[in-house]
Chains A and B, each alone.
Chain A
Amino acid sequence: MTKYIGKSMSRVDGVAKVTGKAKYAAEYSAPDLAYGYVVCSTIAKGKITRINTDEVLQIPGVIQLFTHENRPRLACFDLNYKDQDAPPGSPFRPLRDEKVVYNGQPIALVVAETFEIARYAASLVKVEYEQEDHDTALEHNLHRGRGPKSGVASLLKSPPPKPRGDFEKAFQAAPFKTTGQHIHSVEHHNPIEMFASTVVYEKNGKLTIYDKTQGAPNSQMYVAQVFNLPFKDVRVISPYVGGAFGSGLRPQYQLFLAVLAALELKRSVRVSLTRQQMFTFGHRPATVQNLSLGATADGTLDAIRHDAIAETSRFEDYFEIVVNWSGMLYPAENTKSTYDLVPLDVFTPLDMRAPGGVTGVPALEMEIDELAHKIGMDPIEFRLKNYTEKDMDQDLPFSSKELRECFRQGAERFGWSGRKPEPRSMRRGHTLIGWGMATGIWEASQGPARAEAVLTVNGKLRVTSATADIGTGTYTIMTQIAADTLGMPIEDVIFRLGDSDMPLAPIEGGSWTAATVGTAVKVACEDLGKKLFKMAQKMKNSPFADVKQDDITFADAHIRLKSDPSVAVSLLDIVGTNGGRAVSETSTSLPSMLEQRKYARAAHSAVFVEVEVDEDFGTVRVTRAVTAVAGGRILNPKTARSQIVGGMVWGISKALEEESVMDHQFGRFMNHNLSEYHVAVHADIRELDVIFVEENDTIVNPLGVKGLGEIGIVGMPAAVANAIFHATGKRVRSLPITLDKLL
């Protein structure tokens, strides 16, 4: 019974968001709140030899200056500092000692009575360093590449696949081949809400923390373990998150510093980062990729080689799935791939929207386009000829794959049949027109999660799970799932999230929340339904006394007999028999691994892009784009469309604008602000169209959803680059494609 699932619905948190009532981490107040302001290092490597603490403490209104010299004793094992998304290695510990390991490292926290005084005092902190030589340039250190260390994180991120066939031989023999080096530099997430933590020091010494995070339980665990506090004394609350895109998967350093200050001062403290400081932690790693593709005379893709080298920090081995995608997209018989890391004097990279996917797939899809061009085949025709129904590396069939339908419907909506195949063959006056397309893919995964469903005494359904909504629509889709599962009118259902006191859910990322938490919500509501049914059976003169669970249904806030819906008991009456108490059930959902492991599971997309390129100036505009998505069941087309549109905007932004530029002399990002780190703005975005192709999948999870957070971005950069090639005849393999590369 689905009255709400699948229906376009406005967000349940919409009014809060348009009226300014939705409160984010830095917007909670507390009596006697003090303000912390972070001081960051200005060198990339070396030692702090002196900080003018005494002078700073003389400033009226300054309460304390925390540095490595006066920080309290904290947990000493690496394990205590590991969060749910920690890669193998030794996590960074703020204020650990005098060592500086990257430029922008937090080295002091000024705490003052007002934000203004803290900011001013921080500007007067003088630091003397003993500087050492640093190395931050990936391109100069490619020879140092080595395989990533393994750790717990490797369980979720598969290593490069084993080679198949004989790549060298097949590539040598191939009549059509292409080889290219693809480079993109560092990118930063830059959610518009900057990282902040408001730590409320309660009268009993417990902490209530409002934190910007993609997982309240993750922040709770981190704080409890690092500061050696009982879990029950640390509550993390995060009902609204002003964007994160992966940056909130790990606790950021303002959380550590705010908690440290609050505990030491026994006072509530807020620490917010500045936009400049948003460039001083995890980022999408700069990556260099070499690809070689070979095809036979009839256009059969026969050989693929994909080698990637990415940067990481000196202390952790962050790694991504970059070179594994070709085996999921193309049935080439001969393949070889490697993935290596180069440790540099930078902070550890961090998952950023479609980590690895939007690195590896665009490079692959640009070379596929190049190869199709060399063969003289239409890019869609080439992809259809080399279509795979199974994941070649795992040798498993897909649980569902409607990519063919994505090509068909996307091409039709875009008008692809009107494309002239030759580059530089389409123009409007002085402007070159290019039409390009590409495929996208992202794995559909599900994790374990818990949820609680409560039927209140006044007959409302309240469901909770400690997950997050970073703009993804989690509040809304969970409300829909709960309402349908227990047959409740949606206005009588409330879903809450973002509180470590709630039943445990994993960090919200990787497009798995709809599947993971959605299933937990469904199971909790089903279990509550079973409990309510049993209670209904025990009611006086119950019409269900001899009825089996299979013979009833939940509809309109009643339990009804399937064969005769007029035989019914209202949920309100059932809860009324509970002695004035609500009825609740907490459930755990686990993925059915036995069934799932027999299949490869992924969402697919086909992306079509039109660009205009000014022939003289090399300026590129994406004038329109169509994305056709096969993402399983669509729970809410309205919020789902927003997810895909957002991904498409990110893809355009990545293809044409985004790049954190480092001055390697200082090992520091130069464009650390939103006027110089370019992201797409209103004027950059024109017509974006989204098609959801029907796709039924009974394997991925009980809801049949695949998750949509990443699939919108993955195919986009290559589609833009391929359109630019079609417009100009220039194959630019380094992103972003700025005008200087086209002149």
Chain B
Amino acid sequence: MRTTLSPETDASPTTLPEKTTIQLTINGSVHHLELAPWTSLLDALREYLHLTGTKKGCDHGQCGACTVLVDGKRINSCLTLAIMKEGAEITTIEGLAGENGLHPLQTAFIEHDAYQCGYCTPGQICSAVGLMNEGRAKTTDDIRELMSGNICRCGAYPHIVDAIQEVMKIDPKA
């Protein structure tokens, strides 16, 4: 018999970070939130704004399900505190479709059956928008490499790549 203790922590449990008012611009709308500063952008979206289209798949920046666009760049919203993004333009999956209907990538995903369970899909689509904004992908293999931060456990990869290269007008044989 051995006695084991779980790891010691030296934090004082009685004081918690105080809530502050923060202002986030999401999909063109300004939201005022009372948030503790330790709240991730992902949790702010999902739990405080009920914008649940952005998904949590690991909370560690390893799966890409939480990908959103901040000033047009794709980021993992789980690795970002909401308070750090005051003043930025945040776009989530809910903000991609315009007045004229779905974003071309959304249409292409439906057309190519580029999903199965649909859970990683918002992250894949936002990541693909970011990829297109970056302008670095020139070939199908580039897409595969540069989309590798977004895991699709259902294995829809070939269809996701088909959808993206169709919208990017990349010749699959090039």
Chain A contact residues, CB within 8 Å of chain B: 10-11, 13-24, 26-27, 29, 42-43, 46, 49, 55-56, 58-61, 114-117, 120-121, 123-132, 190-194, 240-245, 272, 274-275, 470-473, 638-639, 641-643, 645-650, 653, 673-675, 679-683, 685-688
Question: Which residues of the partner chain A approach B4 to less than 8 Å between Cβ atoms?
Answer: 42-43, 46, 128-129, 131
Question: Which residues of the partner chain B approach A682 to less than 8 Å between Cβ atoms?
Answer: 143-145, 147-148, 150, 152, 157, 160-161
Q: B125 to A18, Cβ gap below 8 A?
A: yes
With A124-B9, A193-B117, A240-B118 as known contacts, state yes or no: A645 contacts B158, CB within 8 Å: yes
Q: A60 to B16, Cβ gap below 8 A?
A: yes
Q: A132 to B1, Cβ gap below 8 A?
A: yes
Q: In whole angstroms, what is the CA distance A100 to B121 when docked?
A: 38
Q: B62 to A275, Cβ gap below 8 A?
A: yes
Q: What's the nearest-Cβ distance from chain A to residue B39, in Å?
A: 6
With A42-B6, A131-B3, A675-B60 as known contacts, state yes or no: A56 contacts B13, CB within 8 Å: yes
25 A–B pairs (Cβ distance < 8 Å), ordered by A: A15-B110, A18-B122, A18-B125, A19-B94, A22-B118, A24-B52, A26-B52, A49-B3, A58-B14, A59-B13, A59-B16, A128-B6, A191-B119, A193-B57, A194-B56, A245-B153, A274-B59, A275-B58, A471-B154, A642-B113, A642-B156, A649-B157, A674-B151, A682-B161, A683-B145
Question: Which residues of the partner chain A approach B6 to less than 8 Å between Cβ atoms?
Answer: 42, 125-128
Q: What's the nearest-Cβ distance from chain B to residue A276, in Å?
A: 9
Q: B3 to A675, Cβ gap below 8 A?
A: no
Which of A17, A194, A642, A679 gathers the greatest number of chain B CB atoms within 10 Å?
A: A17
With A471-B115, A673-B62 as known contacts, state yes or no: A243 contacts B13, CB within 8 Å: no
Q: What's the nearest-Cβ distance from chain A to residue B149, in Å?
A: 8
- B116 part of interface (Cβ distance < 8 Å): yes
Q: A29 to B50, Cβ gap below 8 A?
A: yes
Closest to A117 in B: B16
Q: In whole angstroms, what is the CA distance A648 to B38 when docked?
A: 41
Q: Which of B39, B46, B155, B161 contacts A649 (CB 8 A)?
A: B155
With A42-B6, A58-B13, A193-B57 as known contacts, state yes or no: A242 contacts B118, CB within 8 Å: yes
Which of A43, A128, A682, A683 gathers the greatest number of chain B CB atoms within 10 Å?
A: A682
Q: A116 to B39, Cβ gap below 8 A?
A: yes
Q: B3 to A192, Cβ gap below 8 A?
A: no
Q: A683 to B148, Cβ gap below 8 A?
A: yes
Closest to B147 in A: A682
Question: Which residues of the partner chain A approach B145 to less than 8 Å between Cβ atoms?
Answer: 682-683
Q: B113 to A10, Cβ gap below 8 A?
A: yes
Q: A20 to B117, Cβ gap below 8 A?
A: no
Q: A685 to B158, Cβ gap below 8 A?
A: yes
Q: B60 to A19, Cβ gap below 8 A?
A: no
Q: What's the nearest-Cβ distance from chain B to residue A610, in Å?
A: 15
Closest to A674 in B: B62
- B169 part of interface (Cβ distance < 8 Å): no
Question: Which residues of the partner chain B approach A42 to less than 8 Å between Cβ atoms?
Answer: 4, 6
Question: Which residues of the partner chain A approach B43 to less than 8 Å between Cβ atoms?
Answer: 115-116
Q: A19 to B152, Cβ gap below 8 A?
A: no
- B165 part of interface (Cβ distance < 8 Å): no
Q: In whole angstroms, what is the CA distance A509 to B62 when docked?
A: 28
With A10-B110, A679-B151 as known contacts, state yes or no: A27 contacts B62, CB within 8 Å: no
Q: What's the nearest-Cβ distance from chain A to residue B143, in Å?
A: 7
Closest to A128 in B: B5
Q: What's the nearest-Cβ distance from chain B to residue A587, in Å?
A: 29
Which of B54, B58, B93 gathers the greatest number of chain A CB atoms within 10 Å?
A: B58
Interface string of B112-154 (1 = CB under 8 A from A): 0101111111100100000000000000000111011111111
- B24 part of interface (Cβ distance < 8 Å): no
- B55 part of interface (Cβ distance < 8 Å): yes
- B70 part of interface (Cβ distance < 8 Å): no
With A15-B110, A275-B59 as known contacts, state yes or no: A128 contacts B3, CB within 8 Å: yes
Q: Which of B60, B111, B117 contacts A673 (CB 8 A)?
A: B60
Q: What's the nearest-Cβ distance from chain B to residue A390, in Å?
A: 33
Q: What's the nearest-Cβ distance from chain A to residue B30, in Å?
A: 20
Q: B155 to A650, Cβ gap below 8 A?
A: yes
Q: Known A-B contacts: A11-B113, A682-B145. Give 18 more (CB < 8 A).
A: A14-B110, A18-B115, A18-B125, A20-B94, A27-B46, A56-B13, A58-B13, A59-B13, A115-B47, A192-B57, A192-B151, A240-B118, A272-B56, A641-B113, A645-B155, A645-B156, A680-B155, A685-B144
Q: In whole angstroms, what is the CA distance A190 to B58 when docked?
A: 10
Interface positions of B from 47 to 82, Cβ below 8 Å from A: 47, 50-60, 62-63, 65
Q: A26 to B56, Cβ gap below 8 A?
A: yes
Closest to A130 in B: B1
Q: A21 to B53, Cβ gap below 8 A?
A: yes
Closest to A653 in B: B155
- B159 part of interface (Cβ distance < 8 Å): yes
Q: A20 to B122, Cβ gap below 8 A?
A: yes
Q: Which of A55, A127, A244, A648 contacts B155 (CB 8 A)?
A: A648
Closest to A55 in B: B13
Question: Which residues of the partner chain A approach B53 to less than 8 Å between Cβ atoms?
Answer: 19-21
Q: What's the nearest-Cβ distance from chain A to residue B112, in Å?
A: 9
Closest to A677 in B: B62
Q: In whole angstroms, what is the CA distance A58 to B59 when docked?
A: 27
Q: In whole angstroms, what is the CA distance A682 to B122 when docked?
A: 16
Q: B13 to A17, Cβ gap below 8 A?
A: no
Question: Which residues of the partner chain A approach B16 to less than 8 Å between Cβ atoms?
Answer: 59-61, 117, 120
Q: B36 to A116, Cβ gap below 8 A?
A: yes
Q: In whole angstroms, what is the CA distance A61 to B110 when docked?
A: 43
Closest to A28 in B: B52
Q: B121 to A17, Cβ gap below 8 A?
A: yes
Q: Which of A20, A129, A471, A641 contacts B52 (CB 8 A)?
A: A20
Q: A642 to B60, Cβ gap below 8 A?
A: no
Q: What's the nearest-Cβ distance from chain B to residue A34, in Å?
A: 12
Question: Which residues of the partner chain A approach B155 to less than 8 Å between Cβ atoms?
Answer: 645-650, 653, 680, 685
Q: In whole angstroms, what is the CA distance A192 to B60 when docked?
A: 13
Q: A193 to B55, Cβ gap below 8 A?
A: yes
Closest to B152 in A: A192
Q: A130 to B14, Cβ gap below 8 A?
A: no
Question: Which residues of the partner chain B approach A13 to less than 8 Å between Cβ atoms?
Answer: 118
Q: What's the nearest-Cβ distance from chain B to residue A450, in Å?
A: 25
Closest to B117 in A: A471
Question: Which residues of the partner chain B approach A49 to less than 8 Å between Cβ atoms?
Answer: 3
Closest to B110 in A: A14
Q: A674 to B60, Cβ gap below 8 A?
A: yes
Q: In whole angstroms, what is the CA distance A127 to B151 when docked?
A: 35
Q: What's the nearest-Cβ distance from chain B to residue A79, in Å?
A: 32
Q: A471 to B118, Cβ gap below 8 A?
A: yes
Q: What's the nearest-Cβ distance from chain B to residue A194, in Å?
A: 7
With A19-B94, A645-B159 as known contacts, state yes or no: A243 contacts B153, CB within 8 Å: yes
Q: A242 to B144, Cβ gap below 8 A?
A: no
Question: Which residues of the partner chain B approach A240 to less than 8 Å between Cβ atoms?
Answer: 117-119
Q: B158 to A192, Cβ gap below 8 A?
A: no
With A20-B94, A55-B13, A192-B119 as known contacts, state yes or no: A114 contacts B113, CB within 8 Å: no
Question: Which residues of the partner chain A approach B157 to less than 8 Å between Cβ atoms?
Answer: 649, 680-682, 685
Q: What's the nearest-Cβ distance from chain B to residue A534, in Å?
A: 40
Q: What's the nearest-Cβ distance from chain B to residue A45, in Å?
A: 11
Q: In whole angstroms, what is the CA distance A161 to B93 when docked?
A: 52
Q: In whole angstroms, what is the CA distance A686 to B50 when docked?
A: 37
Q: A638 to B109, Cβ gap below 8 A?
A: no
Question: Which residues of the partner chain A approach B97 to less than 8 Å between Cβ atoms?
Answer: 19
Interface string of B92-115 (1 = CB under 8 A from A): 111011000010001001110101
Q: In whole angstroms, what is the CA distance A192 to B58 when docked?
A: 8
Q: B3 to A681, Cβ gap below 8 A?
A: no
Q: A638 to B113, Cβ gap below 8 A?
A: yes
Q: What's the nearest-Cβ distance from chain A to residue B4, in Å?
A: 5
Closest to B9 in A: A124
Q: A679 to B153, Cβ gap below 8 A?
A: yes
Q: B113 to A639, Cβ gap below 8 A?
A: yes
Q: What's the nearest-Cβ distance from chain A to residue B55, in Å?
A: 7
Q: In whole angstroms, what is the CA distance A59 to B58 when docked?
A: 26
